[in-house]
Chains A and B, each alone.
Chain A
Amino acid sequence: MKFCRRQFSDYRRRSMHTIEIMMGICIALSILLQAVIERHSLNLVSRFEIALLSIAPVIATILLLARYLRGEKDAYVRNLVVESMLWGLGAVLIAHTFFSYFQPDGSLIPIGNISPDIFVLAVSAKLEVKLWRNQ
């Protein structure tokens, strides 16, 4: 996200950088865990453990975002981030709803595993568009 590289405060830059890293971990972990599930025949307990592991960075990202928003003093930027996050959640919801109809035939895209990717893309796109329109 170019958002954190612009002339923003150290707090904002640092927070965004940490959130970016955590989102990167979310994406990397989702790819890695998907590969593990596809290559190994896992029992229910192992699948449960993998499921728990996969949500850990998602929870961490949510907590980081909450902490960032609590500390963000610029109301405009705070609104911008919240609005972009809502767009991100909306994009994930739309993708899930759409691809859920492919489930009975075996979905082409394991949508649950690419949720973080969709979220990151939608949030980044919305932030960039809003900042570009407000140059």
Chain B
Amino acid sequence: MNNRLRVLRAERNWSQADLAQKLEVSRQSVNAIETGKFDPSLPLAFRLAKLFETTIEAIFLEES
């Protein structure tokens, strides 16, 4: 699944490790989500949306 996680993270000058710490997951998880290798669970998607103060749909984009 495509996502805007890298962009949103860069806008806030957060490293993958920073984001991982805020989400309480491993840095590898953040990298896997950013590169589209792993789709996050719904609770994690909600945590991401809350953290970036946006909606899940604004972060994750449906693949056409």
* Chain A residues proximal to chain B, CB less than 8 Å: 7-9, 73-77, 79-80, 131, 134-135
Give the docked Cα–Cα distance between A134 and B31 (Å). Answer: 7
* Chain B residues proximal to chain A, CB less than 8 Å: 17, 24-29, 31-33, 35, 37-38, 40-41, 44
The answer to whether A76 and B24 touch across the interface, beta carbons within 8 angstroms, is no
The answer to whether B38 and A74 touch across the interface, beta carbons within 8 angstroms, is no
Contacts of A131 in B (CB 8 A): 28
On whether A77 and B26 interact (CB within 8 A), knowing A134-B37, A135-B31, the answer reads yes
The answer to whether B44 and A75 touch across the interface, beta carbons within 8 angstroms, is yes
The answer to whether A76 and B27 touch across the interface, beta carbons within 8 angstroms, is no
Contacts of A135 in B (CB 8 A): 31
Contacts of B29 in A (CB 8 A): 74-77
Residue of A whose beta carbon sits closest to that of B29: A76
Give the docked Cα–Cα distance between A8 and B25 (Å). Answer: 8
Smallest distance from the beta carbon of A128 to chain B beta carbons, Å?
12
Smallest distance from the beta carbon of B6 to chain A beta carbons, Å?
15
The answer to whether A77 and B38 touch across the interface, beta carbons within 8 angstroms, is no
On whether A75 and B40 interact (CB within 8 A), knowing A131-B28, A134-B28, the answer reads yes
Contacts of B26 in A (CB 8 A): 7-9, 74, 76-77
